[in-house]
Structure 1
Amino acid sequence: MKVPDLDLLRRTIVEGLATKGWPEPMWLETTPEDAGRGQATKAVEAGAELVFVSGGDGTVMAVVTALAGTDVALAVLPAGTGNLLATNLGLSTDAATGVQVALDGGRRRIDVGVVEDQCFAVMAGMGFDAQMLEGTSETAKKHIGWVAYVGGALKYIRDKPMNLIISLDGKPALHRRPRTVIVGNVGRLQGGVRLLTEADPADGKLDIAILSPRNLAHWAALGWAVVRRSERVPRMETYTAASIEIRSAKPQPRQLDGDLIEAGKSMSISVRPGALLLCVPQPDSDPDLAYDASAAERAAEEVRAAAEKAAE
């Protein structure tokens, strides 16, 4: 769990809960062996109605896997390098505001993707995107943030393409030689770059991007088109599907929500519509629960002040 000041975080949550008359929460810390799945499962079994998770995308993914399919709400308090779920869904990176949003009651059900026994809320990938993660040092991420991934990308940008067979919803297979295949529940990458412009985390589908650049010029043209949000991106095909099968002639690097998983020759991905109940700033349907950002920020400031006073 990448939390810079754990004591302050605890005080912030406790004070926030106290303002609404909620009881003292159960505290469960992640370990090197368990990034959060076991802890979240324990919380569900104990009867929790709301689980706060503070950490990076990998920690969030572990908790999502435990909460998917339940009625337990997830409140994300970002503390890692990527925070892609928070970025895509407009969740605050300020802990006090995040706590207040959760307590205000805004909820939204979103889809999750499934690979083997793990769920993801952001993206899964095979190929270059996983290589990039593998080539990026934790030290660089700590000091310069998401920009560190550029260095990781440059290490593998000249590698050869993969030889893949891709099946979408059981339709005739696509034979492709891409550098990477990205399957997204949401559309934004690191730095706020939107790769999958039509991605909707609540449409019951996943969005697929097949990227097939062959040289540096292709990469440059592709990247420029994505940054400009062009309607047509060269060397990239996009699809939507509820079931995706990717098969390779040899093992390829793979990732889920920015965490590397074991390399493999295949990747079977499906979607669980509406499986995750998420705390969000603004409900989708009930206008009477419309989120007042200024009110939440004022309440969060009161919580911060109380937490700081408690620390004195």
Structure 2
Amino acid sequence: MSILRMKIIVLLDRLKKVTAVADELDLKQPTVSFHMKKMEEEWGIPLFEMKTGKVLLTEAGKTLHHYAQQIDHIYGEAQTRLQTLRQTGKNQFIIGCTDLAASLMLLSGGFRLSQVPGDLLLSIRTGGENELHAQLEDGSVDLVLSGQWVENASLSCEPVAEDELALMIPRDHPLTRYSGPGSYRLSGHPFTLMEEPSLMKIVRQWEKDEQVTLQIEQLTDRVDFALEAVRSGGCLCILPSRVNRQAQGGVPSIRLPGKLPSWKLYAAWRTDFPRPQLIPYLIDKLRMSMSLPEADV
């Protein structure tokens, strides 16, 4: 078995042509055919079959393809990490964040350079909760910050921060006269809602508890878009209070009626991460940076 042969079977499944695979790998067609033959000899079972001019995988080929994909991905990830190490002299450490988590982390100071080990090059990526946790499992990212608690034998998960949710309102809005308006006063007002599952789940439960139905006019996965909708569009929005407090050009906010819900930030990472002492160290630094006074709402 070789990395090249694993890459060949992955490309054959996608391209279905030996010539196309050869072009993709900058090899000659007979070279690809040679490796295909050697793979079948090595595994002792047919892996490929020709149908209507296309190369298709047999059932055995599909089984091998499953593992070949993982090997090819891991090898590609190793190439990328080592290339970064060669170019910068530092190990890349990739943090995946939802937009809400990134806003809370970066606006609260996040990692100060003096707190980060000198051999690390931090890289921040944003995405959806499920997407980021899938990337964590396949090794594309090293740490995920989101509002989603994960239960997975291959992952560890710990709470990092907690923040009360607050109602963001435009300046001079009628609701600014009330320090704590009744739930009924929120009916009929247009809302922009963050399309982040962990936050939406809390808001929906709050609606149920308060027996109120919010009039959702638009959804967004960006905190800055949500705040702009409040500032310029006259919408209301529910966000963690600290995010609004620290954001440039924050908007007025008031307490939500009823039992005040909160949003928790969780950190998740692989249990087989190669530097086991690094993750707890970075999480401690994150907790310290996010230990802010409660926002005034």
TM-score (norm. length: structure 2)? 0.26
Higher relative contact order (CA 8 A, sep 6+): 1
Return the TM-score normalized by structure 1. 0.25
Structure with a larger share of its residues in helix? 2
Question: Going by fraction, where is strand more abundant, 1 or 2?
Answer: 1
